[in-house]
């Protein structure tokens, strides 16, 4: 936790912008460089900055530990879920085209967006958990 007014003010101003930029990288990943991995790291970095500046307690209020734990699994489940839709509809695992049979390109865009969202969720929460563990907090 930092006592410096300059750091806390600038950091507090940057925090939402880092999140928005993370979201942009997340959304952009479907059509260009970017995607879930990079976006997850950016979002996690925003919260790490927050906890460095304002202390762990405040960050925990913003983003409770149980939520981080839960989203580690939820991200992967979202990914697998998209895959299982393909299986249930009688096609192959992770076959996006069943998501919108009338328009394959849309189906692919939807499938990739959902899968990347899952990746982003898992990466962000795993990185936050790793930082928490390195800080010596018990499991």
Residues forming contacts to another protein in the complex (CB under 8 A) are 69-70, 72-73, 76-77, 80, 83-84, 86-87, 90-97, 138-139
Q: Which is nearer to another protein, 43 or 68 (CB)?
A: 68
Q: Closest approach of Cβ 105 to another protein, in Å?
A: 15
Give the Cα separation of 84 and 95 in Å (integer): 9
Q: Closest approach of Cβ 38 to another protein, in Å?
A: 19
- What DSSP string describes the chain? ----HHHHHHHHHHHHHHHHHHHHHHHHTTTSS--HHHHHHHHHHHHHHHHHHH-HHHHHHHS-HHHHHHHHHHHHHHHHHHHHHHHHTTS-TT-GGGGSTT-HHHHHHHHHHHHHHHHHHHHHHHHHHHHHHHTT---
Q: Which is nearer to another protein, 30 or 69 (CB)?
A: 69
Q: Which is nearer to another protein, 19 or 63 (CB)?
A: 63
Q: Closest approach of Cβ 109 to another protein, in Å?
A: 15
Q: Which is nearer to another protein, 20 or 84 (CB)?
A: 84
Q: Closest approach of Cβ 68 to another protein, in Å?
A: 11
């Amino acid at each position: 936790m930092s006592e410096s007014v300059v750091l806390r003010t600038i950091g507090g101003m940057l925090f939402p912008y880092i999140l928005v930029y993370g979201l942009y990288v997340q959304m952009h990943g479907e059509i260009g460089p970017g995607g879930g991995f990079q976006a997850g790291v950016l979002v996690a970095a925003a919260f790490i900055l927050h906890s460095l500046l304002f202390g762990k307690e405040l960050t925990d209020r913003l983003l409770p530990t149980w939520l981080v734990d839960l989203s580690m699994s939820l991200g992967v489940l979202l990914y697998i879920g998209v895959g299982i839709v393909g299986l249930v509809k009688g096609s192959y695992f992770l076959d996006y085209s069943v998501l919108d049979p009338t328009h394959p390109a849309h189906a692919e865009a939807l499938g990739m967006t959902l899968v990347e969202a899952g990746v982003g969720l898992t990466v962000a929460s795993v990185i936050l958990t790793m930082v928490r563990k390195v800080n010596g907090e018990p499991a």
